[in-house]
Amino acid sequence: MALFERSRRTTDEDYLAANDAATRALSVTAVETDFVAGVYGKLASVYDIVFGPTLHAGRLQALQRMAISPGDRILEVGVGTGLNLTLYPKDCQITGIDLSDSMLEKAHERVAKHELEHVSLWQMDATSIAFPDDSYDIVYAPYLISVVPDPVAVVREMRRVCRPGGRIIVLNHFRSSGTILSAIERAISPFTVHIGFKSDLDLPAFLAQAELTPVSIEKVNIPPIWSLVTCIKD
């Protein structure tokens, strides 16, 4: 069930809130590209065990929201060890990109093991995707946005390579709206980046600065502290 609805009436408070979201910092934690690559290089050997089953429900829900049709071209940004690759139907074309060569090595092993001939993998920085405009029907970032140095730059690239009318889907943890939990997430964010994510990424600020208008935002996984954001490119 969608948890996001566009307001029918714009008030002064709405405008001020949107303006604040568009300018405020996304997180208290800053990271560099080399740091991210180093973290995931260390996690590659244990990633499937630690983050496989616990986050799988969100992956399945994201696949449903994609509404994949035969022949669709899908770009997975931050493909990691390739946990999603066996979930896609074989009558579509899958491209996966990731910055970490250690993670991609695991993804290549998965592709070979399951004979996924419809999948191609590339080592690539998500802030500079080396594909033409409007190349993909679906562009998907699973559990990626809260660790990259510049989430807004990543999503702008995702939108660029997505065709008009295509789907842009982000599956990620964002900071809680509750005062107490939000404060805790801010406090621990400098530490959680060492296990692969910032715990305090601001969803309203992210959406405003990335100029994304979701058609739905859903809570997924158990506990439901991750968000599945589905957008349609205008």
* CATH code, 47: 3.40.50.150
Does 14 score more than 80 pLDDT? no
pLDDT for position 190: 85
Query: 50-100: per-residue pLDDT in tens?
Result: 889 999 999 999 999 999 999 999 999 999 999 999 999 999 999 999 999
Kind and range of the H or E run holding 35: helix 33-43
Structure confidence by residue, pLDDT tens digits, 18-60: 557 888 888 888 888 888 888 888 889 999 998 899 999 999 9
81 vs 111: CA distance, rounded Å: 10
Q: Which amino acid is at 1?
A: M
Rounded Cα gap, residues 59 and 221, in angstroms: 9
Position 196 in a domain? yes
Q: Is residue 5 part of a domain?
A: no
Count: domains in the chain? 1
Residue 201 is part of which domain span?
A: 12-232
- Asked, for residue 22, whether it belongs to a domain, the answer is yes
Please give the model's pTM, rounded to 2 decimal places: 0.87
Per-residue pLDDT, 98: 97
Buried-exposed string 152-179: b where 16+ CB fall within 10 A, e elsewhere: bebbbbbbebbeeebbbbbbbbbbbeee
Which pLDDT value is given to residue 152? 95
With beta carbons less than 8 A apart as the criterion, state whether 70 and 88 touch: no
Decide if 137 is inside a domain: yes
pLDDT of residue 16: 39
